[in-house]
Amino acid sequence: MSEYAIELKNITKRFGTIVANDNVSMGVRKGEILALLGENGSGKTTLMNMISGIYYPDEGHIFLDGQEVKIASPKDALALGIGMVHQHFKLVDVLTATENIILGLPGKLNICEAEEKIRTICDKFGFIIDLKKKVYEMTVSEKQTVEIVKVLYRGANILILDEPTAVLTPQEAERLFLVMWRMRNDGKAVIIITHKMHEVKEVSDRVVVLRKGRYVGEMDTGDCDVQRMTDMMVGRSVSLNITRKTPVDPKPRIEVEHLTIRDDEGVVKIDDISFTANSGEILGIAGVSGCGQKELLEAIAGLQKHVDGEVRYIEDDGSKTDLLKMSAQKISEKGIALSFVPEDRLGMGLVANMNIAENMMIRSFRNGPIVEEAVERNKAEALRKLRRDLNPFTDRKSPRKLAETVVKDLNVVTPSITTPVKNLSGGNVQKILVGREIASKPKVLLTAYAVRGLDINSSYQIYELINKQKEEGTAVVYVGEDLDVLLELSDRILVLCGGKVSGIIDGPGADKNQVGLMMMSVEGGKDEN
C-alpha cells in the first residue's frame, strides 16, 4: 500500500510546442491538505486537469493507492473517487441545490432519498446549505458549497479546489477551512490551488511548488514562511514593499450623491449611496462578489444606463461636470482624465482579435461607434472598419513604443507586440490592460479586480504601479478580492453589502474581521464621506 492517495510520476503535457508540464512527480497523502503553488503559466491547473480527467498526459504515470490508473475523462476520475471544484462554478441557475447535486447521475433519482443523503454529508463535514434554494438566489459561498457537496455525494475521496477563497469574505473562508480540516480528519486527500500565501500557512499541511511547468520542491507548511514560499515560486526574492503615505493636499475629484443603479430587468444593484473620492488617495471598495462593485465603477465611467442620483467630476479649479449626463465617449472627448480597468478585460477593455500595439492605439484613437462596437462585440466587420480608418496619418509609433514598454516593464509573456491579445494568457492580457490605462496618466483611475488571474510577482508589480499613481496625485478607486491587500493599499475603504454602504472607514489600522462582518451585514455601518 502506497503512502500516497494519488501519486504522479514523470508527468509531461504539451500543447503544440508549449510544454505545460515537464516531467513532474508529486503526490498527496490520505488525510492531508496539500497546497499547490506557482506563478501564472507554471502548470498548476493543467496538472490538476490531468488528475480530474480533462486532459490526458503525453508521458508519465498516475497511481491511485499504489496502483497505476488511466484517467481519460472526468467520468473516469469520479469513478476513481476524484473530484475537482473549479474556480468558475458549473451549476444550473434555475435548479435547486439538490437538483444540481444529483444532476447527471444514472438511474431513477429520488429527491427525498437524495436530500437525506446530502444532509448526512452536510452534518458530517459542517456544510450549511438550503437544499431547496435555487442557485440564482445563492451567494458565492453557497454556490461553492453546492459544488463541494456535489463531488462528495459522488463518492470523492480526493478533492481538488481551484482558488477556493477567491471571492469569499474572511468569515466564509474560515468556515471553508473548518470543512477542509474535517475532510482531512476523515481521511480524504485535499489539494488546493491558491495565490493567497497567508491561507496556505493557515490551512495546508504541505506545499508543492511548480515553476515554468517543472517541479522545484516541496516543504512542510510548518517549516516555512510566506517569504520562502514566494521566493521559491518566482525563483528569486520578491516582496511587497508599499510605504503608505498620507495623501498630500487631497481634493475632491469624484463626488457621488444618492446613486442608485438598476440592471436591465429593473433590479437594484446599487441603492442610494454617497461618497467622495479624493486626489492622491486610494479609495478601496470592499464587498462580496456581485454586491454592486462592477456597476458602481461602470456608472462613474459612463457605461451604465439605468442610473439615478449624481456623479460629478471636479476639476482643479473646483468646477464640476455631471458624468451621468455623458456617454463614455463624451467623457473622453471632453478631456476628462478618467481611466477604467474593467472586470471583463476582453469583453470591454481590449479587442481580442487585435494585436497588442493596436490595442494601445485604441486608447488615443477616437472613432466613435466603430471603436465601441469593436471593443464590446469584437465583430469582424467592426475591426475591418477600425483598421481601415487608421489612415497613414494616424500615429502608430507612439502606441508601438507604449506596447514595447508595457511588455518589458510588466514582463508580459508574448512572442511579439503584433500577437493578437486573444492568444495570450489571462494574466498577460490583464497586464496589458492595466499598463495601457496607467500609461495615460489619468486624474482618476478606476480598477476592477486589477490583479485577478495574476501570480504573486505580477500582482506586486500592479500594486506598486497603483500606489505610484496615488503618489502622483491620481484619485484611485480600487475594487479588489484580497482583503489583506485592500487594507494595506487603501487610505479609506467603502464597504458594500447588498448594494448599500455599510460603512466608510480609514484603511490604516482597519480590522479585517470588522470589514468582513460589514461586508455581510449593513447593521451598525455608517455612511460617511
pLDDT tens per residue, range 459-509: 888 888 888 889 889 999 998 878 888 888 899 999 998 889 999 999 888
Check pLDDT > 50 for residue 391: no
- Say what the pLDDT of residue 304 is: 82
Secondary structure (DSSP) of 392-448:
TTS--HHHHHHHHHHHHHTT---S-TTSBGGGS-HHHHHHHHHHHHHHT--SEEEEE
Of 22 and 458, which is predicted with more confidence? 22
- Give the C-alpha separation, 255 to 278, whole Å: 9
Q: Which residue has the cell 506596447?
A: 403
pLDDT tens per residue, range 396-432: 677 888 889 888 888 787 888 988 888 776 667 878 8
Check pLDDT > 60 for residue 450: yes
Check pLDDT > 80 for residue 333: no
Check pLDDT > 60 for residue 387: no
Check pLDDT > 70 for residue 14: yes
Please, are residues 208 and 4 in contact by the beta-carbon 8 Å criterion?
no
Of 482 and 113, which is predicted with more confidence? 113
Of 77 and 392, which is predicted with more confidence? 77
Query: Mean per-residue pLDDT for 437-443?
Result: 80
Residues 6+ apart with CB under 8 A from 213: 19, 20, 21, 22, 24, 41, 42, 43
Of 502 and 331, which is predicted with more confidence? 502
Within 10 angstroms of residue 164's Cβ, the number of other Cβ atoms is 26
Distances (CA, A) of 257 to 84, 148, 313, 322, 378: 45, 41, 12, 11, 35
- Say what the pLDDT of residue 301 is: 84
The top-level CATH class assigned to 240-337+441-529 is alpha beta
Mean pLDDT lowest for which of 59-68, 330-339, 344-353, 457-466?
330-339
- Say what the pLDDT of residue 227 is: 81
pLDDT tens per residue, range 237-277: 666 666 677 777 889 999 999 999 998 778 898 999 999 99
Please, are residues 327 and 298 in contact by the beta-carbon 8 Å criterion?
no
Please, are residues 171 and 517 in contact by the beta-carbon 8 Å criterion?
yes
Strands (DSSP E) contained in 212-280 are 214-220, 252-262, 268-278
Mean pLDDT lowest for which of 57-61, 112-116, 329-333, 455-459?
329-333
- Say what the pLDDT of residue 78 is: 93
The top-level CATH class assigned to 4-234 is alpha beta
Domains of the chain: which residue ranges?
4-234, 240-337+441-529, 350-440
In three-state secondary structure terms, 133 is coil
Confidence of residue 335 (pLDDT cuts 50, 70, 90): low
- Say what the pLDDT of residue 340 is: 62
Residue 498's φ and ψ, nearest 5 degrees, are: 60, 30
Confidence of residue 345 (pLDDT cuts 50, 70, 90): low
- Say what the pLDDT of residue 359 is: 85
- Core vs surface per residue 76-91: b (16+ CB within 10 A) or e: ebbebbbbbbbeebeb
Residue 487 C-alpha cell reads as 487594507
Query: Mean per-residue pLDDT for 126-150?
Result: 91
Please, are residues 516 and 487 in contact by the beta-carbon 8 Å criterion?
no
Residue 357 C-alpha cell reads as 500595439
Evaluate whether 4-234 and 240-337+441-529 have a shared fold: yes
- Say what the pLDDT of residue 373 is: 40
Strands (DSSP E) contained in 223-335 are 252-262, 268-278, 282-286, 307-314, 320-322
Q: Which residue has the cell 455631471?
A: 322
Mean pLDDT lowest for which of 134-148, 291-305, 351-365, 483-497?
351-365
Confidence of residue 364 (pLDDT cuts 50, 70, 90): low
Share of the chain above pLDDT 90, in %: 40
β-strand partners of 320: 314
Residues 6+ apart with CB under 8 A from 461: 409, 410, 411
- Say what the pLDDT of residue 371 is: 39
- Say what the pLDDT of residue 430 is: 78
Query: Mean per-residue pLDDT for 91-106?
Result: 92
pLDDT tens per residue, range 145-184: 999 999 999 999 999 998 888 767 778 888 899 999 999 9
Residue/partner pairs of 139-142 with CB below 8 Å, 24 or more apart: 139/288, 140/167, 140/168, 140/288, 140/289, 140/290, 141/168, 141/169, 141/172, 141/175, 141/176, 141/288, 142/97
Strand order in the sheet with 82-85: 82-85, 158-162, 189-193, 32-37, 206-211, 214-220
Within 10 angstroms of residue 343's Cβ, the number of other Cβ atoms is 18
Helix/strand/coil percentages in the chain, nearest 5: 35, 25, 35
Cβ-count burial of 228 within 10 angstroms (0-12 exposed, 13-18 middle, 19+ buried)? middle
Of 276 and 332, which is predicted with more confidence? 276
Check pLDDT > 60 for residue 368: no
Check pLDDT > 50 for residue 369: no
- Say what the pLDDT of residue 395 is: 56
In three-state secondary structure terms, 497 is strand
